[in-house]
Structures are given as structure tokens and as C-alpha cells.
Amino acid sequence: MIDSIRLYARYLGISLRAQMQYRASFLTAVATRLVQSAIEFLAVLALFDRFGTLRGWRIEEVALLYGIINVSFAVAEGFGRGFDTFDRMIKSGEFDRVLLRPRHTALQVAGVELQLLRLGRLLQGLIVLAWASVVLDIAWTPPRVGLLLVSVAGGTCLFIGLFVLQATLAFWTTETLEIANTVTYGGVETAQYPLAIYRPWFRSIFIYLVPLGAVSYFPAMAILGKADPLGSSALFQWLAPLIGVAFLLAALRVWGVGVRHYRSTGS
């Protein structure tokens, strides 16, 4: 285990040094992403400026959801990049080499790259989150802070789990399907707003199938101390982020099945 962690740290170190070779290009790319996501948030601000509230939610409350989900996604994109581009590994036959090495396949794929480019989104998410936590009239007791951190961690696990599942599909399809992006990027867009505003069938997707609600909406309810129109209990709200971790573990199981089904493309 220790050995695996050390190996993973080595992988990440190599990836970081490689990316830092093009420093100016790296900095402009990060700055561009920062501006991009800032403009996206501007759109949310504009809507609140126009309509005042969103079904009883104020902008700083929605900003909390926005911050949790965007920070989780940015971190997951950074660490899960190897899964995101996994179809290249299948197509080039590089995965054959991964199989030969005496380490867990998922660890090696995750170690392909630590993508620093996502720093732009991460920064913007953190800024929104920091702003929300200052403006919100909340006593930041240790349990609340803890729940916020666990939510972000659970969200990160959930998104990495989604990347793993998306990559697993490539064992059968060879090409990553664009449709998978609807649940990742579309999920981020959905979970930026309170789940209660969506139609029941649509909301169910993000509660039961891709449990994004468990790492943003439900814990946010507990942090904000709001009464949930969906009727979740306080106990559930506090424990919900763990579902994200369970999702990742389940995804890794499915990955294992995929690995056993792997047929090399033979190039």
C-alpha cells in the first residue's frame, strides 16, 4: 500500500515537471480557464439580479452548491485525467504494457497525468465557496466545516468514479462515448442549482443513478439548516457524502470486470 502511494506520488511528480516545461503556455491556459468559469458564474449572478431568488434560495446559498460541485469536479478532473483520455491508451495498445506491470491497473492509469490546467476552475470554485461562506449567516462550527470538507471529498470521489466508469466503457467500445459527458459536465451544471427545482424524473437521475445530490444538495441542506422540500432527514444529510466514496469503490469493481474483458487492439 505504502509502496503504491509512493509510486503514485512519483507518477504525479513526473507529470508536474513535464507540464512545467511550458510555463508561459501553462499560465495563459490557467488564466483563460479562470476567466471562462468566472463568466459562467456571471451568468448565475445575472439571473439572481433579475429574479431575486430561486424558489426561496438566495444567491449566496446557491453559491455554496456551486462552490462544492465545481471544486469537486476540478479536483476530480485533475486526478482523473488518465481515465478521461483512457480510450487513447486502448487504441494505441499502451494498456498491454500497463497489464504487464505488477501494480494495480487503476493506479497506473490515474498516474498518467495530474492535470494542472484545471487549476483555473479550481481557483474560481474556491473563490465562490470562500465568498459564500463569508456572506452566509452561518456559524462555522467544526462539524459544519467538517461536513463541507467531506462533501467536497465525496464529490471528488463521485466524479472520479464517473470517469472510471466512462473509461471502463472503452474496454467494450474502444472509443469513449460523448454521451458520458452529459452526466459529468451536465451533472455539474445541474447540481449548481438546488435539486428541488427540477422535475421529479430528472431529479431522480441525480439522486439515485448518479448520486450528485448526495455530495452537494443534501449536505448543503444540513450546512445551511434549511428545511428540505424533498423531505430528507438530518441524519441522511450528514451521512450522504459517503455515498460518493461508495460510488468510487463500486466503479473500481466494475473497472475490474472491464479489465478481465480486455482484448488488445493489436496495434
* Burial readout 197-229 (b: 16 or more C-beta within 10 A, e: otherwise): eeeeeebebbbeebbbbbbbbbbbbbbbeeebe
Rg (alpha carbons) of the chain, rounded to whole number: 19
Q: How far is the CB of 117 from another protein (least distance, A)?
A: 11
Q: 84 vs 108, which CB is nearer to another protein?
A: 84
Q: How many CA atoms lie within 13 A of 145 on its CB side?
A: 6
Q: 53 vs 265, which CB is nearer to another protein?
A: 53
> How far apart are alpha carbons 246 and 154 in whole angstroms?
9
CB atoms inside a 10 Å sphere around CB 244: 27
Q: 129 vs 180, which CB is nearer to another protein?
A: 180
Q: How far is the CB of 47 from another protein (least distance, A)?
A: 6
Q: Name the β-bridge partners of 54.
A: 57
Q: How far is the CB of 216 from another protein (least distance, A)?
A: 15
> How far apart are alpha carbons 160 and 212 in whole angstroms?
12
Q: How far is the CB of 56 from another protein (least distance, A)?
A: 8
Q: 176 vs 237, which CB is nearer to another protein?
A: 176
Q: Name the β-bridge partners of 67.
A: none
Q: How far is the CB of 58 from another protein (least distance, A)?
A: 11
* Site for another protein, rule CB under 8 A: 28-29, 32, 35-36, 39-40, 42-43, 46-47, 49-56, 177-179, 181-182, 186, 189-190, 193, 197-199, 202
Q: 4 vs 53, which CB is nearer to another protein?
A: 53
Q: How many CA atoms lie within 13 A of 189 on its CB side?
A: 8
